[in-house]
Structure 1
Amino acid sequence: MSSEALESADRNAAAEKNEGACPVVRSLEQIGSQWRLVVLHDLADGEKRFNELKRSTGASSRTLSRVLDDLAELGFVERRVEADAPIASYYSLTDKGESLCPVFDEIESWATDWL
């Protein structure tokens, strides 16, 4: 068998082996960035205003705004605007976002045991 054929066979074997991990990989592509995880975990405690999230996460305004937009586009976070003076934006988890709460609990438990 040629080296090219062996490389192709290795790639196919690796692809088959990783098929089981695909849901995990796809999930982490959506929630796996540091800031996304921090914001999602912070919102698990309930609805928060932008500045509350900024203080509690330590993210810059630009980073937090980008992360919240991304999470809203992916369906994890919902934005509610109140016409207060000044206008206030409130963020909360959607049902999809809330479904991650047990996952965070498990990660916290694992971290307590192993880190």
Structure 2
Amino acid sequence: MSDAADYVQGERLSDDDIARALRDGVLLGQECADCGHGTGTAAAACSHCGSRDTTAVVLPEDGEIYTETRINVPPPAFEGPYTVAIVELSDGTRLTAHIESDVSVGDAVSFQGTIAEDIRPAPVFG
């Protein structure tokens, strides 16, 4: 298993670090040292308590659908229709992902890889 430090280029987790990890098939996020809140995005401060004491972490690859929606009219770079969802990972962290299968709220899903239709890859769950 990869270590989060393998992908963090600067002092703080960045969107580029997350993209680099995704290209290698690793889900990267950050965790607040003060309250333990996790996030699947790079942020200067914890969205839960406001602390700036966050650490990059490798996120779990299993979770469940928190909410989902079907995109029937996609942006020009994508082929549709497709499904996107907020996935709540087993540690409680939530992240946005493309979904490869028919899902409903509460369904179990796991990380399948990435989609890279644009310069930024996105996680794919199914």
Shared fold per TM-score greater than 0.5: no
Q: Normalization by structure 1: what TM-score?
A: 0.27
Which structure has the greater CA radius of gyration? 1
Q: Normalization by structure 2: what TM-score?
A: 0.25
Question: Which structure shows the higher helix fraction?
Answer: 1
Question: Which structure shows the higher strand fraction?
Answer: 2
